[in-house]
Chain A
Amino acid sequence: MGSIGQVNGASYFLCFKEITELAIKPLTKVPVRIYHLMSHFTKIVVFVEVKTSLCRLSAITSDSYFSPMENILALETMKEGHDGSGLGLMLKDLGGVFADFKDYPILSCICSDKGLDMLDEYMTQLGFETKFSWSPSIKTGIGIKPRDHYIARAYDYPSAVKGLDWRAKEEVLTQTRLDLRRLGEEDESIFAFSFYPDVLALKEVGDPLQLGEFFSLGNGQLEARQIIAQGRQNTNYDIYLYACHPFFIQGYATMTNGENTAFVPIKEFLTGLKNPAYRGYNSDSEVFAHILHYVDRTLGYPLTYYKDVITPLSNVEIDGRADAKALALIKRSLRPLCIDGPNAVVGFTPDGTVFMVQDAKKLRPGVVGGRSGKYGLMSEECGLDSVLPERDRDKDIFPMKYDMVIVPPGASEVIVWNQLQG
């Protein structure tokens, strides 16, 4: 019973609920705000804001290494907003057991026994040599059925590739990932998520907290300076590992909170660009990562233009920008990449910048807060409270529809870029 409403720019489900006085207390413990209370005959009638059940995002960037459990515990505090259907982790600038392998591409994948054999054979054939291999310590008996192999493996480049420049190397890595995907896609024997230096991906279906325990992520083996995590995997489609956020392509990763209503035109535009890596799209959110890659890397636009592409300004607003002429042209040429739906996008770029942008109507929650040296970019404040309880809450940033919040590598500061001012 209720209707969709907007409070402070974020969407809430306003419901009308009869409760007793005793029932108020437990309600206030969860991220639900009671904002109006009135008596109605003998019963207490409370209007309650309950956030809609959405994906929850938890990104942390820091100048020092930290454990992905911090992201997972933040997701746990936001549990009211996700259904515990999955966890996707993307780690960048790795510490822990990978601290000494920063120059080597790391292949993150999940394989069956057969898939592992195929993978080994293929990588050997290409000339990739294993430098270091890591698999999580799996804790059984907590209701999650382990797959055969969870692998993060650092490889040395084949000799023919070693001498190539970085861009050419990147293409080899991407093509290898795509080939592995193709090899194991049909029988689901290989899920290859990323193959890139200093980046690691881990995904599985289940409750994020349980998965943290399942993978023993608290044991200190995995650490990073930037970690983005998403709880609740796709409910629009079958739960499928390739549909799990975050999505990665050549140093860029994004995760998204919301449904992409413009998915089909965007997908068709991206596939028309003839980049072999623009494929997959088992989730409507994968396009966000590819748009970022296309805008920032292929077209070479500064990062802030990502916001201008996915949520273009009106013509009148464009006229107020110093770069109005260029912006007007971009708006036309990249018109199909307008996301147009309710989405908060959090991601990182190859240099370790972490950002958050909102859709053009600010229909999704999002907050950024922290201190110099460590910032969290979360769906909700309670997530920030979990990670950075000591921060000055007055400085929390709630990015609105024109804002792009950028935390540069090193997390020394947070920049709010306003699209209107450019």
Chain B
Amino acid sequence: MESTSGINESNELSLAEFPYIIRWREDRCTRCGKCTAVCPTRAIEPTVFLQRRAFSKGEGPNPEVTREVMQGVQQINDLERYCTGCATCSFVCPNVAIEPEYNPHHKFLFFKNKGGVPYKRGGRRNDPGVSTVDQLKFSRISMLTDPALDAARHEFYVRTLLGRVMPAEDLPLKTVDDKLMLSGPSTFIPPVREIFPIRIGSMSIGALSPNMWEGLAMGITYLNEVEGIPVAMATGEGGMPPRLLKSRFLKYFILQIASGYFGWDEIIHALPHMQEDPLAIEIKYGQGAKPGDGGLLMAYKVLNLIAEIRGVPKYVDLASPPTHQTKYSIEEAVAKMIQSMSMAWGFRVPVYPKISGTKTATAVLNNLVRNPYAAALCIDGEDGGTGAAYNVSLDKMGHPIVSNIRDCYLDLVAQGKQNELPLIAAGGMGKTGNLAANAAAMIMLGASAVDTGKYIMQAAAGCLGDEYNRCNICNTGRCPRGITTQDPKLYRRLDPDKVAERIVDIFVSANVELKKIFAPMGRSTQLPIGMSDGLSVSNKETAERLKITYAV
């Protein structure tokens, strides 16, 4: 064994510490250079190396040694240029010569804080385990005590309400000739929208590329206008293109206002010219992926379009503060914000806050219950995604959505308010691909609707991220799929029409799957919100916590 004194690079890492190791096959490589050109982190580069070959001719061992200079591909031994496992190299390789391989023994997080800068990334919580919502099953099947409904034949109404629903006692009604009529125009009736219970959650036009956002918007429009499925989409912080703000399509979008107020200059200026009201206004107070942290759009994503929409200079980091600067107390600030937003559209638009999952969610909820203008509460659980956040926030901060929603719903039930203030569950919906099942389970636990973002990016645009930290470089603006980048060279890879087509596929099929879940459970005319007797789980503690059936 060589003496350790011969090793003088102990301060350096070997590739064995890296999360992905590039497997390059010299025998298949055509040296076209495509892989090194597309690598978003420049983790591989063309290289030359000296190759020593020894071979013998004749009968006896008589080795001759030759040395050749070879061209090839090498992985860079620099954690700033680590391989993310996105496999864009494999995607472009004409001869199946290269692929990244996950290294389960990596020590990435031990070293990824160079310069005292903690690891930042995009994506989702790196937790590949089966989420609680995915463990829930639908076990109350109508069969002989009742005929099950037929998902293909019977009429189904898979819609939910977004907005403050008045209690029946307060409705301004009077009886005239055995008919109920409105008793007068003086009573304020809060605006309520009927939407499909799965929404596209807030992803901003800065976080997403123009092509991705356009694809989503086209898909949503098609679903609403052609398929008759009223799917809503939230904009995220950062506004919308002014052209869209003034279009008839605005009614399918939920405008988000967050602590940076990005995009609201344009929105306010467009107000007098709006043909339609937006579907709703979402006030973002928190985000499940990074509770207590503000939004962040890195400078290299702030190019022309984004600078124009948001009303900011180009190439500057756009950080939204962790909290709304005007926030003094929930009673004062939230109520005022809801009032202001409501007033801007003449109280015709539902306005609701979005918070990150937290143990204090019921406290927020109870405040909203007492505010007759609060239209809903959206809670974003720890499995929510983001375009940019500290890894520690993503992985370790937050509250699971399932018990958060359940607690809030039961809190509303205790007050008899469960039909008045809709709860929207976000964070991890469709995390493993079971979007409709996750949505149905959350609805039966008490949610009126669910938001999904990562599922949409994966299913509609082929996002490469996963819970093993694959890719997850949305924050860098170098998204290899062109989903979360503002670089035209990258986003032109994404065809907005194909994204739109996939959006339609996703929601049309989710609509069928929801019916396939509800029909055998004998529910069709109204969404089974809070139908917790329909659910079971094979874990006793979970069953007790959620007050559902334990079944093994």
Q: Interface SS of chain A: helix, strand, loop or mixed?
A: loop
Given pairs A235-B145, A269-B419, 14 additional interface contacts (CB within 8 A): A258-B146, A259-B146, A264-B531, A265-B529, A271-B413, A272-B417, A272-B418, A304-B178, A322-B179, A326-B173, A332-B161, A332-B165, A333-B166, A334-B419
Q: Are A336 and B178 in touch, CB under 8 angstroms?
A: no
In the A-B complex, the 5 residue pairs with the closest CB atoms: A272-B416, A261-B522, A326-B180, A338-B526, A333-B168
Chain A residue nearest to B163 in the complex (CB) = A332
Q: Is B154 an interface residue (CB 8 A)?
A: yes
Given the contacts A329-B173, A340-B523, A361-B149, A264 and B533 also touching, CB distance less than 8 Å: yes
Q: For the complex, what is the distance from the CA of A265 to the CA of B366, rounded to whole Å?
A: 20
Q: Is A311 an interface residue (CB 8 A)?
A: yes
Cβ-Cβ contact count across A and B, 8 Å cutoff: 134
Q: Is B552 an interface residue (CB 8 A)?
A: no
Q: Is B175 an interface residue (CB 8 A)?
A: yes
Interface residues of A in 209-257 (CB under 8 A from B): 235-236
Q: Is A345 an interface residue (CB 8 A)?
A: no
Given the contacts A52-B144, A236-B145, A330-B171, A263 and B533 also touching, CB distance less than 8 Å: yes
Binds B, one of A152-160, A294-302, A367-375, A385-393: A294-302
Number of B residues, CB within 8 Å of A: 47
Q: Are B168 and A299 in touch, CB under 8 angstroms?
A: yes
Q: Is B331 an interface residue (CB 8 A)?
A: no
Q: Is A335 an interface residue (CB 8 A)?
A: yes
Give B141 Cβ to nearest chain A Cβ, in Å.
Answer: 10
Q: Is B398 an interface residue (CB 8 A)?
A: no
Q: For the complex, what is the distance from the CA of A298 to the CA of B419, rounded to whole Å?
A: 18
Q: Is B169 an interface residue (CB 8 A)?
A: yes
Residues from chain B with Cβ under 8 Å of A4 in the complex: 147-148
The 0/1 profile, CB within 8 Å of B marked 1, for residues 265-307 of chain A is 1001101111000000000000000000000001111101100
Interface residues of A in 1-24 (CB under 8 A from B): 4, 11
Q: Is A42 an interface residue (CB 8 A)?
A: no
Sample (24) of A-B pairs whose CB atoms are under 8 Å apart: A4-B148, A261-B523, A264-B530, A264-B532, A268-B530, A269-B416, A272-B413, A272-B416, A299-B168, A299-B169, A302-B179, A312-B526, A314-B155, A323-B181, A325-B181, A326-B171, A333-B165, A334-B419, A336-B418, A340-B525, A341-B142, A342-B147, A361-B154, A422-B179
Residues from chain A with Cβ under 8 Å of B522 in the complex: 259, 261, 340-342
Residues from chain A with Cβ under 8 Å of B414 in the complex: 272
Give B167 Cβ to nearest chain A Cβ, in Å.
Answer: 6
Q: Is A315 an interface residue (CB 8 A)?
A: yes
Q: For the complex, what is the distance from the CA of A270 to the CA of B522, rounded to whole Å?
A: 20
Give A197 Cβ to nearest chain B Cβ, in Å.
Answer: 26
Q: Is A414 an interface residue (CB 8 A)?
A: no
Q: Are A363 and B523 in touch, CB under 8 angstroms?
A: no
Residues from chain B with Cβ under 8 Å of A332 in the complex: 161, 165-166, 192
Q: Is A168 an interface residue (CB 8 A)?
A: no
Q: Are B168 and A336 in touch, CB under 8 angstroms?
A: no
Give B206 Cβ to nearest chain A Cβ, in Å.
Answer: 36
Give B370 Cβ to nearest chain A Cβ, in Å.
Answer: 16
Q: Is A262 an interface residue (CB 8 A)?
A: yes
Residues from chain A with Cβ under 8 Å of B532 in the complex: 264
Q: Are B161 and A262 in touch, CB under 8 angstroms?
A: no
Q: For the complex, what is the distance from the CA of A315 to the CA of B195, rounded to whole Å?
A: 13
Residues from chain A with Cβ under 8 Å of B142 in the complex: 259, 261, 341
Q: Are A341 and B146 in touch, CB under 8 angstroms?
A: yes
Q: Are A312 and B525 in touch, CB under 8 angstroms?
A: yes
Give A357 Cβ to nearest chain B Cβ, in Å.
Answer: 14
Q: Are B146 and A335 in touch, CB under 8 angstroms?
A: no
Set A312, A315, A323, A361: member contacting B180, Cβ < 8 A: A323
Q: For the complex, what is the distance from the CA of A235 to the CA of B149, rounded to whole Å?
A: 21
Residues from chain A with Cβ under 8 Å of B417 in the complex: 272
Give B494 Cβ to nearest chain A Cβ, in Å.
Answer: 37
Residues from chain B with Cβ under 8 Å of A74 in the complex: none
Given the contacts A264-B531, A272-B413, A323-B179, A340 and B171 also touching, CB distance less than 8 Å: no
Interface residues of B in 166-210 (CB under 8 A from A): 166-169, 171, 173, 175, 178-182, 189, 192, 194
Given the contacts A314-B157, A333-B167, A333-B419, A262 and B180 also touching, CB distance less than 8 Å: no
Residue of B154, B173, B525 with most chain A CB atoms under a 10 A cut-off:
B525
Q: Is B62 an interface residue (CB 8 A)?
A: no
Q: Is A111 an interface residue (CB 8 A)?
A: no
Q: For the complex, what is the distance from the CA of A299 to the CA of B415, rounded to whole Å?
A: 19
Chain B residue nearest to A328 in the complex (CB) = B192
Q: Is B521 an interface residue (CB 8 A)?
A: yes
Residues from chain B with Cβ under 8 Å of A338 in the complex: 525-526
Given the contacts A52-B147, A329-B166, A340 and B413 also touching, CB distance less than 8 Å: no
Give B416 Cβ to nearest chain A Cβ, in Å.
Answer: 3
Q: Is A119 an interface residue (CB 8 A)?
A: no
Given the contacts A264-B530, A338-B526, A327 and B145 also touching, CB distance less than 8 Å: no
Q: Are B189 and A329 in touch, CB under 8 angstroms?
A: yes
Q: Is B528 an interface residue (CB 8 A)?
A: yes
Give B171 Cβ to nearest chain A Cβ, in Å.
Answer: 5
Q: Is A57 an interface residue (CB 8 A)?
A: no
Q: Is B524 an interface residue (CB 8 A)?
A: yes
Q: For the complex, what is the distance from the CA of A340 to the CA of B155, rounded to whole Å?
A: 11
Q: Are B419 and A330 in touch, CB under 8 angstroms?
A: no
Give A1 Cβ to nearest chain B Cβ, in Å.
Answer: 14
Q: For the complex, what is the distance from the CA of A335 to the CA of B140, rounded to whole Å?
A: 21
Q: Are A335 and B526 in touch, CB under 8 angstroms?
A: yes
Q: For the complex, what is the distance from the CA of A268 to the CA of B547, rounded to whole Å?
A: 13
Q: Are B181 and A335 in touch, CB under 8 angstroms?
A: no
Chain A residue nearest to B159 in the complex (CB) = A315
Q: Are B175 and A300 in touch, CB under 8 angstroms?
A: yes
Q: Are A360 and B525 in touch, CB under 8 angstroms?
A: yes
Q: For the complex, what is the distance from the CA of A184 to the CA of B351, rounded to whole Å?
A: 50
Residues from chain A with Cβ under 8 Å of B178 in the complex: 302, 304
Q: For the complex, what is the distance from the CA of A342 to the CA of B150, rounded to whole Å?
A: 13
Residues from chain B with Cβ under 8 Å of A314 in the complex: 155, 157
Q: Are B145 and A265 in touch, CB under 8 angstroms?
A: no
Set B166, B182, B523: member contacting A262, Cβ < 8 A: B523
Q: For the complex, what is the distance from the CA of A261 to the CA of B523, rounded to whole Å?
A: 7
Given the contacts A265-B528, A265-B529, A329-B166, A336 and B419 also touching, CB distance less than 8 Å: yes
Residues from chain A with Cβ under 8 Å of B415 in the complex: 272
Chain A residue nearest to B183 in the complex (CB) = A326
Q: For the complex, what is the distance from the CA of A24 to the CA of B428, rounded to whole Å?
A: 59
Give B470 Cβ to nearest chain A Cβ, in Å.
Answer: 40
Residues from chain A with Cβ under 8 Å of B523 in the complex: 261-262, 340-341
Residues from chain A with Cβ under 8 Å of B155 in the complex: 314, 360-361
Q: For the complex, what is the distance from the CA of A330 to the CA of B418, rounded to whole Å?
A: 16
Chain A residue nearest to B166 in the complex (CB) = A333
Q: For the complex, what is the distance from the CA of A227 to the CA of B142, rounded to whole Å?
A: 31
Chain A residue nearest to B170 in the complex (CB) = A333
Give A358 Cβ to nearest chain B Cβ, in Å.
Answer: 13
Q: Are B530 and A336 in touch, CB under 8 angstroms?
A: yes
Q: For the complex, what is the distance from the CA of A361 to the CA of B148, rounded to whole Å?
A: 12
Q: For the complex, what is the distance from the CA of A1 to the CA of B173, rounded to whole Å?
A: 52
Q: Are B418 and A333 in touch, CB under 8 angstroms?
A: no
Q: For the complex, what is the distance from the CA of A263 to the CA of B523, rounded to whole Å?
A: 11
Set B140, B146, B529: member contacting A342, Cβ < 8 A: B146
Residues from chain B with Cβ under 8 Å of A322 in the complex: 179
Q: For the complex, what is the distance from the CA of A269 to the CA of B154, rounded to whole Å?
A: 26
Q: Are B533 and A335 in touch, CB under 8 angstroms?
A: no
Q: For the complex, what is the distance from the CA of A4 to the CA of B181, rounded to whole Å?
A: 41
Q: For the complex, what is the distance from the CA of A265 to the CA of B532, rounded to whole Å?
A: 8
The 0/1 profile, CB within 8 Å of B marked 1, for residues 114-155 of chain A is 000000000000000000000000000000000000000000
